[in-house]
């Protein structure tokens, strides 16, 4: 076997991914690669209507196709509803359809071709209803009601809702209305961001199999086996004990695979047919029926004193929710929580409205609303700097949150590496050379900057660390590695905590039967929250190892230490030591029982201190642990066409501690390019309620020629007290400042502030040709 270089394996080493070998050999199994004996293949029949009552189905023709095993419509599904915040979504359309592409019926057949052919033969009798395609249309006085039952839906937070408004949230500190009078300069503007597709290269899919007792095993492309279990059981009204959820390799998520997609459909088909059923969406279905980043419309106003001291900020946002709530209330609440940015602004008010429309549902996407508000707020920091004639980086440095400062709302911030991020990005980018850079003929080049922060502490997690008989280790956390590398990082932590090489630690694949609960691979939380549990559980194993050793050596536990290579010995006495093999053997066969360390916890620091802030309709009462970042981008504009390209970028991110620096860089680089797509080329274009570009031909993400090669990842480590080895999250923050940094560079280059993404050649050219409004 060709060895990979795994000489350094502990915390701080860029250990190659544990699954790198199976991925480079093509052996890694994703959901589409799975086959079970007797497996059927499913296909959906999607709604062609945006909003229509279902009067009836005619499935006779589909049923008659040879090879078809089962056709199910809404009538064949229970009345349960699922939803992360508002239980508003059935497993399949029932009674009416609410967006084009919504599954209306589903077919299982002997092969996929037959299933798709049969699905196309299903006839549905629709009665068209008036359509609300945009939030503006949906809040109009005569707007059709998208969820007649909204008031009665179960909600997991004190939702302020009514009509087509799914949720309203407000958060404020200080006295904003009075504070404007203290400002010497005020900037105000309307910002707009489009829907962005996650575009995981793997489309979503699921495979369900039912056993003789009627218990179902479900594999799917997912970010949390536990959320899959909860959603399916809610929608199908099954006891959770009747459903076991597992995961194959996941071809990336970015938020797309956190909440349900087709899992309830295959479970119901498996229950009805008694056979394994697999459903993989094609790319167009994946575009139209899964979810995407929320379009935001943001009104933002920021004021400062002549010396650059920020005084007040008011931000209001309207989010297109799409047809179902999904993660949307969370996105709204979180985006408002981020709207002050990592600054001291004493007077701040953020409010927002989430509006149901007859478009596809919008939901979680890397950054969770933060990139959208940061685009607006960091644009305005630059506008203020321009108005005051200050350097934008100096303005950020001057107003940055200081150690001990609280987050907007009053949440505690224990570590803050923002100053170091700013200083390091500034030095690396050569900011002192000026923002306008030399450019080839016909081009303009400029630097732009943005700063930001993002959380990593949220919700519940656990870990189980077991010492096997031979002294090697199994780690079980239930956290799904969606490709970002958490299996490797958690293994490194466990190995370091027990002082064993990483190859002595196996990591269990998530399993709702056997793994401790993990809310999910989302919110940049796995390294921090799950890592904490891993370190705590490993610590309990270490304690037990020492207790055995103390009994054998007849010494105090305090006199013992773990030694590299899986040994425990008496401090200061090198030859007094035992291997984990000896300790574990004793535990298994003679004394004490097998060594198992477990830990569970839930993040419980309040987001809001009622003495400081007023909050209404906030969906996350407990959230925190902040990473910080500063990014500088060098952008080149083609003067002929207005096309903007990023030529170089410096991204300094405070991650507390880089457990695996290579993986941290991978998150920064990947986050940058995904953010660059959001800033420059990616836009889901809607024709009324309908997505006009649901294909990779028509929706364009950056290729290797569009992405700059010179992405400089600068790792800053402001250790988080309580974080595992000091670590905090990195999954999302690398994307958050990208649109703002690019927009600020573009504004520098063309002299006009653009407030609408993406920054297409058309918008940039228009900006370049008009009289600039940028001071």
Q: Which of residues 420-449 bind other proteins (CB under 8 A)?
A: 442
Chain residues 700-719 in contact with other proteins, contact rule CB under 8 A: 700-707, 709, 711
To other proteins, the closest distance from the beta carbon of 543 in angstroms equals 34
Dist. CA 26–CA 33, nearest whole Å = 11
For other proteins, the binding residue among 394, 585, 760, 774 (CB under 8 A) is 760
b/e burial code for range 688-703 (CB count within 10 A of at least 16 → b): ebbbebbeeeebbbbe
For other proteins, the binding residue among 484, 515, 544, 607 (CB under 8 A) is 484
Q: How many residues bind other proteins (CB under 8 A)?
A: 80
Does the N-terminal peptide bond of residue 758 adopt cis geometry, omega within 30 degrees of 0? yes
To other proteins, the closest distance from the beta carbon of 653 in angstroms equals 14
To other proteins, the closest distance from the beta carbon of 701 in angstroms equals 6
Is 509 a binder of other proteins (CB under 8 A)?
Answer: no
Is 30 a binder of other proteins (CB under 8 A)?
Answer: yes
* From 63-71, 81-89, 402-410, 680-688, span contacting other proteins (CB under 8 A): 680-688
For other proteins, the binding residue among 283, 344, 540, 586 (CB under 8 A) is 283
End-to-end Cα spacing for the chain: 63
Containing 148, the helix (H) or strand (E) segment is none
Chain residues 187-226 in contact with other proteins, contact rule CB under 8 A: 198-203
To other proteins, the closest distance from the beta carbon of 418 in angstroms equals 23
To other proteins, the closest distance from the beta carbon of 49 in angstroms equals 20
Identify the DSSP state of 250. Answer: -
Residue 61 or 762 having the CB closest to other proteins: 762
For other proteins, the binding residue among 237, 402, 605, 695 (CB under 8 A) is 695
For other proteins, the binding residue among 485, 629, 739, 767 (CB under 8 A) is 485
Residue 668 or 733 having the CB closest to other proteins: 668
CB 644 within 8 A of CB 761: yes
Helix 392-399 with 370-388: angle, nearest 10 deg: 110
Residue 267 or 280 having the CB closest to other proteins: 280
Residue with tokens 């996941």: 250
To other proteins, the closest distance from the beta carbon of 681 in angstroms equals 5
To other proteins, the closest distance from the beta carbon of 198 in angstroms equals 8
Is 640 a binder of other proteins (CB under 8 A)?
Answer: yes
To other proteins, the closest distance from the beta carbon of 4 in angstroms equals 6
To other proteins, the closest distance from the beta carbon of 254 in angstroms equals 7
In 3D space, the residue among 713, 527, 534 whose CA is nearest the CA of residue 625 turns out to be 527
Dist. CA 218–CA 277, nearest whole Å = 10
* From 171-179, 316-324, 567-575, 662-670, span contacting other proteins (CB under 8 A): 662-670
CB 702 within 8 A of CB 721: no
To other proteins, the closest distance from the beta carbon of 250 in angstroms equals 7
To other proteins, the closest distance from the beta carbon of 690 in angstroms equals 12
- Residue 16 to residues 4, 23, 79, 666, Cα–Cα distance (Å): 8, 12, 47, 12
Neighbouring-strand partners of residue 108 = 42, 70
Q: What is the dihedral of CA 48, 53, 55, 57, to 10 degrees?
A: 30
For other proteins, the binding residue among 122, 495, 625, 765 (CB under 8 A) is 765
- 579 φ/ψ angles, rounded to the nearest 5 degrees: -85, 160
- Tokens (6 digits) for 107: 């077919």
585 alpha carbon, distance to own chain's centre: 42
- 766 φ/ψ angles, rounded to the nearest 5 degrees: -55, -45
Residue 252 or 468 having the CB closest to other proteins: 252
Residue 726: Cβ within 10 Å count:
18
The Cα diameter of the chain in Å comes to 84
CB 74 within 8 A of CB 94: yes
Residue 539 or 661 having the CB closest to other proteins: 661
* From 54-62, 517-525, 611-619, 677-685, span contacting other proteins (CB under 8 A): 677-685
In 3D space, the residue among 634, 677, 754, 689 whose CA is nearest the CA of residue 367 turns out to be 677
For other proteins, the binding residue among 89, 487, 665, 732 (CB under 8 A) is 665
For other proteins, the binding residue among 139, 240, 696, 719 (CB under 8 A) is 696
For other proteins, the binding residue among 307, 697, 721, 771 (CB under 8 A) is 697
Query: How many residues are there in the chain?
Result: 775
Is 25 a binder of other proteins (CB under 8 A)?
Answer: yes
Residue 241 or 640 having the CB closest to other proteins: 640
Residue 76 or 112 having the CB closest to other proteins: 112
Chain residues 239-278 in contact with other proteins, contact rule CB under 8 A: 249-252, 254
Is 756 a binder of other proteins (CB under 8 A)?
Answer: no
Residue with tokens 């969406």: 281
* From 137-145, 375-383, 542-550, 665-673, span contacting other proteins (CB under 8 A): 665-673
Residue 625 or 707 having the CB closest to other proteins: 707
CB 738 within 8 A of CB 371: yes
Q: What share of the chain is helix, strand, coil (3-state, %, to 5)?
A: 30, 30, 45
For other proteins, the binding residue among 357, 370, 515, 674 (CB under 8 A) is 674
Chain residues 534-593 in contact with other proteins, contact rule CB under 8 A: none
Dist. CA 715–CA 661, nearest whole Å = 8
Dist. CA 649–CA 672, nearest whole Å = 9
Q: β-strand 613-616 against 362-363: which pairing, if any?
A: unpaired
Neighbouring-strand partners of residue 205 = 280
- 258 φ/ψ angles, rounded to the nearest 5 degrees: -75, -55
b/e burial code for range 166-194 (CB count within 10 A of at least 16 → b): bbbbbbbbbebeebeeebebbbebebebb
To other proteins, the closest distance from the beta carbon of 639 in angstroms equals 9
Neighbouring-strand partners of residue 437 = 445
Identify the DSSP state of 86. Answer: B
Residue 389 or 703 having the CB closest to other proteins: 703
For other proteins, the binding residue among 20, 145, 506, 555 (CB under 8 A) is 20
Q: What is the CA radius of gyration of the chain?
A: 27
For other proteins, the binding residue among 26, 37, 149, 389 (CB under 8 A) is 26
Helix (H, G, I), strand (E, B), or coil: what is residue 218? Answer: strand
For other proteins, the binding residue among 476, 529, 627, 663 (CB under 8 A) is 663
Dist. CA 94–CA 660, nearest whole Å = 47
Residue 19 or 182 having the CB closest to other proteins: 19
For other proteins, the binding residue among 673, 715, 727, 733 (CB under 8 A) is 673
For other proteins, the binding residue among 296, 343, 368, 672 (CB under 8 A) is 672
For Cα atoms 18, 23, 25, give the angle at the middle one, nearest 5 degrees.
120
To other proteins, the closest distance from the beta carbon of 25 in angstroms equals 7
To other proteins, the closest distance from the beta carbon of 683 in angstroms equals 8
Is 643 a binder of other proteins (CB under 8 A)?
Answer: yes
Is 767 a binder of other proteins (CB under 8 A)?
Answer: no
- Tokens (6 digits) for 716: 């800053």
Chain residues 109-148 in contact with other proteins, contact rule CB under 8 A: 111
For other proteins, the binding residue among 8, 27, 64, 434 (CB under 8 A) is 27
CB 101 within 8 A of CB 68: no
Q: β-strand 473-476 against 505-507: which pairing, if any?
A: parallel
């Amino acid at each position: 076997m060709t060895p990979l270089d795994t000489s350094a394996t502990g915390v701080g080493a860029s250990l190659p991914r544990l699954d790198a070998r199976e991925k480079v050999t093509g052996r890694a199994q994703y959901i589409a690669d799975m086959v079970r004996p007797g497996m059927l293949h499913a296909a959906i029949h999607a709604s062609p209507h945006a909003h229509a009552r279902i009067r009836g189905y005619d499935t006779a023709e589909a049923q008659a196709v040879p090879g078809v095993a089962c056709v199910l419509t809404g009538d064949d599904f229970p009345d349960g509803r699922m939803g992360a915040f508002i239980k508003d979504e059935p497993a399949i359309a029932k009674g009416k359809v609410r967006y084009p592409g919504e599954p209306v019926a589903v077919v299982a057949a002997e092969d996929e071709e037959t299933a798709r052919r049969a699905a196309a033969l299903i006839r549905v009798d629709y009665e068209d209803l008036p359509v609300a395609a945009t939030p503006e249309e949906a809040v109009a006085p005569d707007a059709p009601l998208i969820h007649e039952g909204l008031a009665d839906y179960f909600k997991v937070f004190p939702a302020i809702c009514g009509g087509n408004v799914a949720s309203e949230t407000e958060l404020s500190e200080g006295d904003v209305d009075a504070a404007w009078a203290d400002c010497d300069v005020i900037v105000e503007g309307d910002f707009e961001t489009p829907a962005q597709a996650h575009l995981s290269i793997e489309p979503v899919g699921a495979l369900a199999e039912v056993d003789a007792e009627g218990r179902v095993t479900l594999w799917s492309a997912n970010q949390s086996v536990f959320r899959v279990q909860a959603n399916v059981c809610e929608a199908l009204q099954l006891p959770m004990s009747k459903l076991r959820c597992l995961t194959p390799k996941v071809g990336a998520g970015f938020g797309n695979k956190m909440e349900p997609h087709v899992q309830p459909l295959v479970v119901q088909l498996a229950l009805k047919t008694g056979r394994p059923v697999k459903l993989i969406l094609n790319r167009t279905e994946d575009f139209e029926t899964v979810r995407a980043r929320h379009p935001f419309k943001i009104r933002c106003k920021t004021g400062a004193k002549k010396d650059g001291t920020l005084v007040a900020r008011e931000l209001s946002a309207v989010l297109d929710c799409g047809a179902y709530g999904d993660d949307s209330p969370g996105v709204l609440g979180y985006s408002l929580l981020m709207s002050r940015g990592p600054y001291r602004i004493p007077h701040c008010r953020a409010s927002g409205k989430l509006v149901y429309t007859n478009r596809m549902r919008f939901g979680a996407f890397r950054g969770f609303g933060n990139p959208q508000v940061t685009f607006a707020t960091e644009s305005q920091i630059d506008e203020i700097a321009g108005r005051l004639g200050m350097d934008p980086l100096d303005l950020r440095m001057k107003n940055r949150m200081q150690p001990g400062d609280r987050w907007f709302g009053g949440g505690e911030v224990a570590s803050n590496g923002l100053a170091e991020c700013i200083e390091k990005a500034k030095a690396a980018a050569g900011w002192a050379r000026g923002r306008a850079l030399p450019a080839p003929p016909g081009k303009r080049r400029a630097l732009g900057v943005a700063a930001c922060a993002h959380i990593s502490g949220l919700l519940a997690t656990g870990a189980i660390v077991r010492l096997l008989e031979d002294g090697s280790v199994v780690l079980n956390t239930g956290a799904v590695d969606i490709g970002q590398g958490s299996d490797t990082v958690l293994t490194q932590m466990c190995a370091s905590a027990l002082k064993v090489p990483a190859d002595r630690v196996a990591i269990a694949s998530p399993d709702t039967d056997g793994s401790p609960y993990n809310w999910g691979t989302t919110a940049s939380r796995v390294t921090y929250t799950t890592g904490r549990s891993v370190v705590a559980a490993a610590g309990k194993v270490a304690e037990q190892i020492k207790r055995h050793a103390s009994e054998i050596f007849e010494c105090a536990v305090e006199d013992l230490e773990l030694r590299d290579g899986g040994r425990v010995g008496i401090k200061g006495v090198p030859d007094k030591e035992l291997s984990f093999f000896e300790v574990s053997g004793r535990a298994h066969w003679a004394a004490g029982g097998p060594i198992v360390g477990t830990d569970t916890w839930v993040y419980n620091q309040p987001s809001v201190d009622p003495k400081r802030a007023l909050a209404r309709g906030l969906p996350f009462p407990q959230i925190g642990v902040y990473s910080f970042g500063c990014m500088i981008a060098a952008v080149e504009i083609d003067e002929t066409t207005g096309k903007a390209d990023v030529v170089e970028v410096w991204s300094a991110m405070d991650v507390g501690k880089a457990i695996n620096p290579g993986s941290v860089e991978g998150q920064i680089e990947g986050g940058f390019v995904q953010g660059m797509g959001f800033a420059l080329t990616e836009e889901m274009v809607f024709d009324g309620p309908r997505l006009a570009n649901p294909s990779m031909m028509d929706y364009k993400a950056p290729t290797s020629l569009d992405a700059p090669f010179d992405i400089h990842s600068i790792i800053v480590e402001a250790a988080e007290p309580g974080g595992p080895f000091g670590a905090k999250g990195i999954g999302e923050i690398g994307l958050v400042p990208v649109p703002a940094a690019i927009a600020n560079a573009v504004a520098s280059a063309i002299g006009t502030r653009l407030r609408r993404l993406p920054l297409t050649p058309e918008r940039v050219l228009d900006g370049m040709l008009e009289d600039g409004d940028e001071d």
